[in-house]
Amino acid sequence: MKFLMKAQGVWEVIEPKDDAATADEAKEETALAIISQMVNDETLMQVVSKDTATEVWTALRSMHVGADRVKEAKVQTLRWQLENLCMGEEESVDDFSSKITLLVGEMQALGEKVEEKYVIKKLLRAVSDKFVNIATTIEFFGSMNTMTKEEVIGSLKPYEEKLKLRRARTNEQLLLARRQGSL
């Protein structure tokens, strides 16, 4: 919602840049319309009594993010999930990186700062055994301080494709051998 309101130029209704600024009625209505479109009916019914977009936003934030203790507990749970996440043997690089990205995104949405370097190291530590060689190569020869998560994923994906190709060739050879043996 925040990104959409910023894109529509109405975020200043929620967080004015200065105290003297007053939001015009059109921006207020647009912000309320965006909020009403983005939440489910049950949530909307809980905030329908609020008069301004700022009041609605504050209520939504309290409902969904909760108090600082609840927020911290959620962050700790997400951090634990991230720390204990491991790539499955049959899991693709895309699927695994999506899991990591989702967890990191949830943590950041709760205000937790997660460094790119930490995410990269976690990604390389948690890959399945078939990616250990390439992960080690990336760690030794890549610049961990300047690499992005996307670059690491971009290095793992071609390796994954090569593994798929080798597996397909091996399967073809086995089929051919079986056919020759049955003739």
Give me the phi and psi of 49, to 5 degrees please.
-80, -10
Specify the DSSP class assigned to residue 142.
S
74 shares a domain with 60 = no
Task: Answer yes or no: do 75 and 158 share one domain.
Answer: yes
Is the same domain home to 120 and 104? yes
Residues 9 and 33 in one domain: yes
What is the Cα–Cα distance from 41 to 55, expressed in whole angstroms? 18
Question: Which of the residues in the chain have pLDDT under 70?
Answer: 19-23, 65-67, 182-183
Please indicate, yes or no, whether residues 18 and 101 belong to a single structural domain of this protein.
no
Cβ-Cβ contacts under 8 Å for 157 (sequence gap 6 or more)? 93, 94
What pLDDT does 108 receive?
A: 93
Q: Given 64, 80, 100, which residue is the final one in a domain?
A: 64
| Amino acid letter, residue 23 | A
Helices of type H across the chain: 2-7, 11-14, 25-38, 41-47, 53-64, 68-84, 93-109, 116-125, 132-141, 149-182
Both 167 and 97 in one domain: the answer is yes
Closest among 180, 123, 182, 110 to 157, alpha carbons compared: 123
Give residue 81's domain range. 68-182
Q: pTM of the entire structure?
A: 0.59
Q: Do 80 and 10 belong together in one domain?
A: no
**pLDDT confidence of residue 65:** 62
Domain boundary among 21, 40, 64: 64
Question: For residue range 104-154, what is the model confidence (pLDDT) as tens digits?
Answer: 999 998 889 999 999 999 999 999 999 999 999 988 888 878 899 999 999
In terms of domains, do 76 and 108 share one?
A: yes
Boundary of a domain, candidates 15, 37, 64: 64
pLDDT of residue 118: 92
Q: How far apart are CA 119 and CA 98, in angstroms?
A: 12
